[in-house]
Amino acid sequence: MKLPIYMDYHATTPLDPRVLGAMTPYFTQKFGNAASKSHSFGWEAEAAVTKARGQIAAILGTSSQEIIFTSGATESNNLALQGVWEAHGKKGAHLITCVTEHKAILDVCKELEKKGAQVTYLSVDSQGRIDREAFKSVLTDRTILVSLMAANNEIGTIHPLEEIGSITRERGILFHTDAAQALGKIPLDMERMKIDLLSASGHKICGPKGVGVLYVRSQNPRLKPLIWGGGHERGLRSGTLNVPGVVGMGEACRIAAEEGEAESDRLRTLRDRLYTELKKGLEDVLLNGPSLNDRLAQNLNLSFPFVKAEALMMAMKEVAVSSGSACTSASPHPSHVIKALGRSDDEVHSSIRFGLGRFTSEDEVDYVAKRVVELVKKIRGASPAYQMVKEVSSREPSREPLIKSLGRAK
Ligand SMILES: *Cc1c(COP(=O)(O)O)cnc(C)c1O
239-294 pLDDT, tens digit per residue, is 999 999 999 999 999 999 999 999 999 999 999 999 999 999 999 999 999 999 99
Same domain, 244 and 282: no
pLDDT at 409: 40
What is the rounded CA–CA span in Å between residue 315 and residue 270? 23
CATH of the domain at 251: 3.40.640.10
Whether 212 lines ligand 1, by a CB cut-off of 6 Å, is yes
User: pLDDT-derived band of residue 41, with 50, 70 and 90 as boundaries?
Assistant: very high
Same domain, 323 and 306: yes
Same domain, 126 and 175: yes
Cis? peptide before 4, omega within 30° of 0? yes
Same domain, 276 and 214: no
Same domain, 243 and 267: no
Bridge partners of residue 342, in order along the sequence: none
Q: What is the pLDDT of residues 189-221, one digit of tens each?
A: 999 999 999 999 999 999 999 999 999 999 877
pLDDT at 410: 36
Same domain, 38 and 136: yes
Q: Return the percentage of the chain with pLDDT > 90, whole number.
A: 89
Whether 246 lines ligand 1, by a CB cut-off of 6 Å, is no
Same domain, 98 and 58: yes
pLDDT reading at 401 higher than 60: no
Mean pLDDT taken over the chain: 94
From 103, 109, 204, 335, mutation site for ligand 1 pocket: most ligand atoms within 8 A of C-beta: 204
Question: Which strands sit side by side in the sheet containing 322-323, from one edge to the other?
Answer: 286-287, 299-303, 351-355, 322-323
User: pLDDT-derived band of residue 324, with 50, 70 and 90 as boundaries?
Assistant: confident
Same domain, 63 and 176: yes
Whether 71 lines ligand 1, by a CB cut-off of 6 Å, is no
From 74, 100, 226, mutation site for ligand 1 pocket: most ligand atoms within 8 A of C-beta: 74
pLDDT reading at 406 higher than 60: no
- What's the whole-number mean pLDDT along residues 122-149? 97
Name the nearest CA neighbour of 168 among 197, 185, 146.
146
C-beta of residue 47 within 8 angstroms of C-beta of residue 193: no
Whether 351 lines ligand 1, by a CB cut-off of 6 Å, is no
Same domain, 185 and 321: no
Distance between Cα 115 and ligand 1 center (Å) = 24
Full domain range(s) for residue 341: 5-9+260-409
Residue ending a domain, choose from 223, 256, 289: 256
Same domain, 273 and 380: yes
What is the rounded CA–CA span in Å between residue 268 and residue 287? 16
**Count of other CB atoms within 10 angstroms of residue 314:** 10
pLDDT at 171: 97
pLDDT at 408: 44
CATH of the domain at 354: 3.90.1150.10
What is the rounded CA–CA span in Å between residue 324 and residue 338? 7
Question: Tell me, what amino acid is at 115?
Answer: K
- CA-nearest residue, atom 3 of ligand 1: 73
Residue ending a domain, choose from 256, 284, 311: 256
Name the nearest CA neighbour of 354 among 326, 328, 320, 405.
320
Q: What is the pTM of this model?
A: 0.95
Crossing angle of helices 362-381 and 384-395, rounded to 10°: 90
Residue ending a domain, choose from 256, 288, 312: 256
Whether 149 lines ligand 1, by a CB cut-off of 6 Å, is yes
- What's the whole-number mean pLDDT along residues 23-47? 98
Whether 102 lines ligand 1, by a CB cut-off of 6 Å, is yes
pLDDT reading at 139 higher than 60: yes
pLDDT at 407: 47
Q: Return the percentage of the chain with pLDDT > 70, whole number.
A: 95
Residues labelled catalytic: 327
Same domain, 356 and 212: no
Same domain, 52 and 160: yes
pLDDT at 396: 80
From 71, 178, 213, mutation site for ligand 1 pocket: most ligand atoms within 8 A of C-beta: 178
pLDDT at 394: 84
| Number of domains the chain contains | 2
